[in-house]
Structures are given as structure tokens and as C-alpha cells.
Structure 1
């Protein structure tokens, strides 16, 4: 019997006190739209203390520290892509060096 490979779980932990649920749901939508075939599931994880972290398979790919600004969706898409589908082009979201 062959073993089925499961696509990774992506988690977005967000601060409920900072009211970042809308940002987390928007980011989840962006990532699901871009990686619909590569992701197994996306979970929103309520947190506190100013947290906003994107994890793939339990490992952080991007985290907003308490003194850092948010990055844009294209940057987070590239980080997720590099983890789950490095050969995949991102089209117009891809910045040229």
C-alpha cells in the first residue's frame, strides 16, 4: 500500500488584542489563492502580545517582532513558496533583482 503525501499545514497566529483578525484572514485568503494545490490546510491561531506569525509545518517563515513593521503579501508569498514549492514562479508578484 502506497503512502499518501500530505500537503503542509499553514498557520497564521495573530494578536486578538491588536485586532489583527482582518489582516490574518486577508493573508490566509492570499496564500490559499496562490497555493491552493500546495497547502493541505490553513489555520488561524488566536494569540496575544502583538504576535503575527506565519508558520508552515510548525516552522516560522515570517514573524512580526514587537518593534517591526508588517511586510507586504508578496514577501510572505515568496517565503512560503521557498518552503513548499521552490520551483514555482509567482508571476507578477515576483520581484526582479
Structure 2
């Protein structure tokens, strides 16, 4: 049963840059970590070098504002801080 109260995540990735694999890997990481906290993680094809992660419509990370890709641990911390503050992420809580 889908819980409409749980937040959704969108990962928009550039098809021209062939970032589908990166987007799918990030989706898998987020679904594994937040399997009971999220309604869904969707992959959104885009162009022009885009790679953005949105939580409930709010951009929480964008390659446009950060020249390098973020790692999964940092993205998990950003999401955790919004949907489950105080929750331990185990080894992902260690500084990168």
C-alpha cells in the first residue's frame, strides 16, 4: 500500500551524458537506506548536463551548483536531515 504522506525523490539525469547508470545506482542506494521512509524514487531523463536530486519537489543537490558529483553518503545525510533527523546512518555518518 502506498503511503501518500511519505516523500518522493526525483533524480533528474542527463541522457546525453549517459548518466542513467549513476542515477540508477543512487536510486538503489536511497531505496536501500530509506526503504520505509520514502514513497518512491523516480528517474527523470533530462538534457544539458543536468543531474539533480529533488525531495518533495525541493532541489536538495544539483550538479549545477557543485562541479563534482556528490557521494552517496553525503546525499543520504542530506535526505536524512530532512525526513528523519537524528537517525543514525551508520558508516554513512562518518565524514567523507
TM surpasses 0.5: yes
Q: Is residue 50–residue 66 contact of structure 1 (8 Å, CA) maintained in 2?
A: no
Q: How many residues align?
A: 93
Shift of the 89–6 alpha-carbon distance from structure 1 to 2, 3 Å rule, reads same
**2:50 aligned partner:** 51
Unaligned runs of 5+ in 1: none
Deviation readout 1:2-49 (Å, 9 max, x if unpaired): xx7610010000000000000000000000000000000110000001
Unaligned runs of 5+ in 2: none
Q: Is residue 11–residue 53 contact of structure 2 (8 Å, CA) maintained in 1?
A: yes
**1:78 aligned partner:** 77
Structure 1 segments of 4 or more deviating over 4 A? none
After superposition, the CA RMSD in angstroms is 1.6
Shift of the 52–24 alpha-carbon distance from structure 1 to 2, 3 Å rule, reads same
Q: Is residue 4–residue 39 contact of structure 2 (8 Å, CA) maintained in 1?
A: no
Give the alignment's TM-score, normalised by structure 2. Answer: 0.90
Give the alignment's TM-score, normalised by structure 1. Answer: 0.90
- Larger Cα-atom Rg: 1
